[in-house]
């Protein structure tokens, strides 16, 4: 990867083999990203996020699908909501959870495209160089 300074903010730009230009992350970005990944580092929370990325669910449905108690699911959902990973809205007496942040949706989609159902790494699609 070649690095070149970014005149606007004095960060470096990384040029990947695929031609994407990615600015070097700032310390605050690294800190928040690390906390977000740590939050998603438990299978229960990652499962809750993956389900909420598929649609809107109440805590009872999510707890059934994940295989944990409602109290456990509720605790995890609360942490995810406070971090801005999952959003919630009230529907009568129920809270309905979903993921509506396109960045989180992309993150969830890409990680499960990268990992095959058997847990092995899925092969990368062939790289096609843009013309």
Q: Which residue ranges make up each domain of the chain?
A: 40-114
pLDDT at 54: 94
Locate 79 and state its tokens: 């942490």
Cβ 77 vs Cβ 66: under 8 Å = no
Tell whether pTM > 0.85.
Answer: no
CB 79 within 8 A of CB 115: no
pLDDT per residue as tens digits for the range 3-31: 444 445 555 666 666 677 788 999 999 99
Q: How far is CA 116 from CA 40, 47, 107, 111, in A?
A: 18, 15, 15, 10
Q: At residue 69, does pLDDT exceed 90?
A: yes
Q: What is the mean pLDDT of residues 53-75?
A: 97
Query: For residue 65, which of 89, 42, 49 has the smallest C-alpha distance?
Result: 49
The CATH number for 40-114, chosen from 1.20.120.1780, 3.40.50.10490, 1.10.10.10, 2.30.30.100, is 1.10.10.10
Report residue 68 CA to chain centroid gap. 21
pLDDT at 14: 63
């Amino acid at each position: 990867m070649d690095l070149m300074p970014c005149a606007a903010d004095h960060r470096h730009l990384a040029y990947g083999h695929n031609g994407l230009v990615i600015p070097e992350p700032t310390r605050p970005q690294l800190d928040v990203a690390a906390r977000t990944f740590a939050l998603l580092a438990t299978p229960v929370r990652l499962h809750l996020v993956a389900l909420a990325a598929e649609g809107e669910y109440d805590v009872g449905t999510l707890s059934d699908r994940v295989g944990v108690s409602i109290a456990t699911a509720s605790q995890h959902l609360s942490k995810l909501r406070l971090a801005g990973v999952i959003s919630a809205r009230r529907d009568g007496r129920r809270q309905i959870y979903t993921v509506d942040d396109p960045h989180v949706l992309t993150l969830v989609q890409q990680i499960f495209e990268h990992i095959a159902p058997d847990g092995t790494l899925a092969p990368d699609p062939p790289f096609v160089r843009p013309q």
